[in-house]
C-alpha cells in the first residue's frame, strides 16, 4: 500500500478530521501552490484537538477489535440469514462471509431503495440505499450495476451498517419490520401498475 486515507468519524472519532498514511519513501505533492506549510504539503494550521481526538479514538478501536469484530460478525450473519430466509426475491450483494464484519447489502426485487429507506426512517431505523459518498442520489449504485445486477435489483438496494452500539435486539427488530415494509411496498407498486 502506497497511500491510505481515512476519516476519524468512521471509528467514532471527531468529524472533520482524517489522516493520510504515506508509505516510507512515498511522494506526495502539495495540494496547492499557495502557502507551503505542513512540510510543504498543504496550507493551513493543524487542528491539534481533533488530531488528539482521532488518535484516542483509533487507539480505543484497535483495543476493542478482538471482541468487537466477532460480535459484529455474529450480528451481521444473523441479519443476513434472517433477511434472506424471510423475504423472497432478495439478493445479498457480495460474499456471505468474506466481507466486512459490520456491513450487509441487499437488493429487493420490485421496490425502490429510497421508498424503503423512508419507511425504515419513519420507524426509527437508519440505513442507506447506496454508498455514503452517493447519498442523495436516486440513481442505483454504479458498483452494483458493474457487478452485473440488473437496474431493477440495483435500484432496490439497501445497505445496513452495524456499529459499536448495535445490539441483537436491534437486529431482531429490523428482522421483524423489514419483511412487512418490503411486502407493503411491493403490494403498493403492484396496485399502481393496474
List residues with catalytic annotation. 133
Q: How far apart are CA 145 and CA 89, in angstroms?
A: 18
Angle at which helices 48-86 and 168-193 cross, to 10°: 60
Q: CB-hemisphere CA count at 13 Å for 162?
A: 27
Cα 151 to Cα 153: distance, rounded to the nearest angstrom: 6
Cell numbers found for residue 167: 445490539
Whether 146 contacts 54, CB under 8 Å: no
- CB–CB of 17/5 below 8 Å? no
Radius of gyration (Cα) for the chain, nearest Å? 20
Rounded CA separation 89/92 (Å): 10
Q: Which residue has cell 498514511?
A: 21
Amino acid at each position: 500500500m502506497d497511500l491510505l486515507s481515512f476519516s476519524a468519524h468512521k471509528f467514532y472519532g471527531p468529524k472533520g478530521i482524517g489522516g493520510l498514511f504515506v508509505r516510507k519513501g512515498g511522494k506526495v505533492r502539495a495540494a496547492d501552490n499557495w502557502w507551503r506549510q505542513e512540510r510543504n504539503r498543504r496550507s493551513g494550521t493543524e487542528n491539534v484537538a481533533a488530531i488528539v481526538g482521532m488518535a484516542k479514538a483509533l487507539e480505543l478501536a484497535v483495543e476493542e477489535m478482538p471482541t468487537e469484530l466477532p460480535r459484529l460478525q455474529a450480528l451481521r450473519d444473523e441479519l443476513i440469514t434472517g433477511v434472506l430466509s424471510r423475504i423472497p426475491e432478495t439478493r445479498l450483494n457480495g460474499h456471505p462471509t468474506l466481507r466486512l464484519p459490520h456491513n450487509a447489502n441487499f437488493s429487493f426485487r420490485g421496490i425502490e431503495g429510497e421508498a424503503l429507506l423512508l419507511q425504515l426512517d419513519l420507524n426509527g431505523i437508519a440505513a442507506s440505499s447506496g454508498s455514503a459518498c452517493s447519498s442523495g442520489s436516486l440513481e442505483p449504485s454504479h458498483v452494483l450495476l458493474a457487478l452485473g445486477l440488473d437496474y431493477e435489483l440495483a435500484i432496490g438496494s439497501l445497505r445496513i451498517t452495524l456499529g459499536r452500539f448495535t445490539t441483537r435486539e436491534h437486529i431482531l427488530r429490523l428482522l421483524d419490520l423489514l419483511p412487512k415494509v418490503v411486502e407493503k411496498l411491493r403490494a403498493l407498486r403492484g396496485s399502481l401498475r393496474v
